[in-house]
Amino acid sequence: MKEKIFEFIDNSAALALELETELCKYPAISPANGGEGELDKCEFLQGWLKAHGIEKLERYDAPDSRAKGGIRPSLVATIPGKDDSANGSGDKNPRFWVMSHIDVVPPGEASLWNSDPWKLMITEGESGKKITGRGVEDNQQGLTSSVLAALALVKQGITPSRTVKLLFAADEENGSVYGVDWLLKNHPDLFHKNDMVVIPDSGNETGSDIEIAEKSHLWLKFTTKGRQGHAAMPNHATNAYLAGADLTVQLHYGLSEKFSDRDSLFAPDYSTFQPTKKEPNVPNINTIPGEDVFYYDMRILPRHPVDEVLKEVDRIIAEVEKKHGVTIKYEIGQRNESPPTPQDSPLVKFLSKNVEEVYKVKTRTIGIGGGTFAAFLRKKGIDCAVWARFDHTAHQPNEYALLNNIIGDAKVMALMMIAET
């Protein structure tokens, strides 16, 4: 059976290129980033899957008035398994999910691209065919691999050992408020505690890295308020920019020193506290600003509770307020923390076995500072592994994916659909 499935996948290069080509035409950008959302792309994908024989499809539409149609759609495809009478809830063959996302980030500066980011470009290289376009790796590579694996079964009349679920989610690039997080809150019965989940949204060039943990994410917006005045008379003003700059420095060094533990699972192996976005204050040079706004991106080792970090933030703010005579408030933009997937979990062992069979590499478990929607699932007690064979060109100009990675990853996913754990 394995040989039959692998032969189908090896002969599906044209099908993979067709799907990537069509998906690339839809700029499924969040309204938060100036786009219309995922509706057009989701409707295309839904129709394409049905036309190719995957008929059990369910749409879940999160309301969002900013988006086209007023919704942010996610799509679930199901291939019933041999144990489907129990709805895949037994311990022997738990349901197997591959979860990818259909939204993409904006292409950025057009002059940095060598081709139209919304039109797939195919070139030949040392590693075989390379496809270029926005979203082709993040996350259409994983999406396409999961579809090829499913079609290898459906087209050949093979019933998988376990029920297979493919999720094509909205809003991953902006925190999953209208995607996985919304699904967990509004459709909790969609997921089971013993589900096995692979999220093909990160990895390395050989396929050896299996991500089982993510740093906690904390995004903060700081607003400092003083008193506006003439720059020649600072004695009649309270410089909000100066206080904000002091706070920026105190947060970086103070938090880095207090939460200084190391963990070799991650790279970098420490918590990071980085000031990032800065909003304009006054338009002219000779005015002392009375308000200043800046942002922080914090990636915290899971061993440090986010509440403890926020307590230290409050302490540092109080010192800066007293020193400068200002008031400082902050808003939480994103907060996400989750436990790791155990290194010895059945999922990790099963994935590792099949990766090593297909790619002939020794796998290792890692943690990352970036974020995927695995964190939301892990908080609900669902084991997830984030894995793919990636060149890591996501969010860059001239983003590309390798056809050989799509084909190889599809084989790993197909093995996990048919093999016993």
Set 137, 138, 172, 292: catalytic member: 172
Q: Tell me whether residue 195 is one of the annotated catalytic residues.
A: no
Q: Per-residue DSSP letters for 135-164?
A: TTTTTHHHHHHHHHHHHHHHTTTPPPSS-E
Q: Per-residue DSSP letters for 297-344?
A: EEEE-TTS-HHHHHHHHHHHHHHHHHHHT-EEEEEEEEEE--PPPPTT
Rounded CA-CA distance 76/295 in Å is 36
Rounded CA-CA distance 414/151 in Å is 9
Q: How far is CA 355 from the centre of its chain?
A: 21
Q: Tell me whether residue 84 is one of the annotated catalytic residues.
A: no
The alpha-helical segments, DSSP class H, found in 25-74 are: 39-51
Set 20, 64, 103, 211: catalytic member: 103
Q: Do 401 and 137 contact (CB within 8 A), yes or no? A: yes
Buried b (16+ CB within 10 A) or exposed e, 64-77: beebebebbbbbbb
Closest of 382, 401, 389, 359 to residue 183, by C-alpha: 382
Q: What is the DSSP letter of 253?
A: H
Angle CA 224–226–227, to nearest 5 = 150
Rounded CA-CA distance 53/225 in Å is 60
DSSP, collapsed to helix, strand or coil, labels residue 394 as coil
- Residues carrying an active site annotation: 103, 172
